[in-house]
Amino acid sequence: MTIYTFYQYLFALYGPQHWWPCQSGSRWEIVCGAILTQNCAWINVGKALANLAQKNFACPQAILAAPDLELEEAIRPAGFFRQKRAYLQASAEFLLAHETEFLNSEDLPALRQRLLAVRGVGRETADSILLYAFQKPVFVIDAYTRRVAERHLRLPGGLAYDALQGVFQASLPRETQLYNEFHALIVCFCKESCRKAGCGHDCPER
């Protein structure tokens, strides 16, 4: 099965997932979610985002104005709250300075490099921000994508992030909406197939 065929199969099976531009929908909230979800279950990210919204920390300016301890208390449910607090502050500062540029530029490699220079923004987080917050055609690789690539698409394991991303992008139409849905569908598929297998979790090594 080709990568594109697999996408069509998943889309027919689960339908559109419309990730992220769905909640409060603000660009900054998407960026916050991308950072807060690092090695953390999404259910807990939702709690942290709700706390931020309730405390009126729902914009970069408010994040930068808030006391560290108060910010940490708000995002505590998402874990790693001390370093994620610093990550949010760094991202807030960056977004305030460069949001317009990101809206207008289509030099994706350059934008990606700028994001990677922000503390707490690695490859997956950078690509999630480009795809979900700025609607750029950048395919996001995560742990689920790696499992699917090896177990279902029979791609070689242990590929570096950028290499695996290149394989997916070379195999798919360069469409933001498709990248958006495919990534979400892969996550949905992994959770669903593992639930049906009775694992109770997403059994990483099977």
Q: Which residues would be at the binding site for DNA (CB under 7 A)?
A: 19-20, 33-34, 37-44, 47, 76-77, 79-84, 118-126, 128, 132, 142-144, 160, 184, 187, 191, 200-205
How many other β-carbons are positioned within 10 Å of the β-carbon of residue 4?
14
Q: Which is nearer to DNA, 3 or 88 (CB)?
A: 88
CA 20 to chain centre: 9
Our CB check for DNA shows the closer of 33 and 60 to be: 33
In this complex, which beta carbon is closest to DNA, that of residue 22 or of residue 104?
22
CB count, 10 Å around CB of 3?
A: 18
Minimum distance, C-beta of residue 54 to DNA, in the bound complex (Å): 15
Q: Rounded to the nearest 10 degrees, what angle do helices 68-75 and 42-54 cross at? A: 140
Q: In angstroms, give the least distance from the CB of 177 to DNA.
A: 15
Choose between 2 and 132: whose C-beta lies nearer to DNA: 132
In whole angstroms, how close is the CB of 160 to DNA at the nearest point?
A: 6
Identity at 54, one-letter amino acid code: Q
CA angle 50, 52, 54 (to 5 degrees): 70
Whole-number minimum distance, CB 164 to DNA, in Å? Answer: 12
- Which of 22/100 has CB closer to DNA? 22
CB of 121 to DNA, least distance (A): 6
Give dist(CA 97, CA 94) in Å, integer: 5
Residue 140, classed as helix, strand or coil, is coil
Give me the DSSP letters along 101-163: HHHH---HHHHHHHHHTSTT--HHHHHHIIIIIT----PPP-HHHHHHHHHTS-PPTT--HHH
Residue type, 197: A
Measured from the CB atom, the residue of 5 and 143 that comes closer to DNA is 143
Q: At closest approach, how far in Å is the CB of 27 from DNA?
A: 14
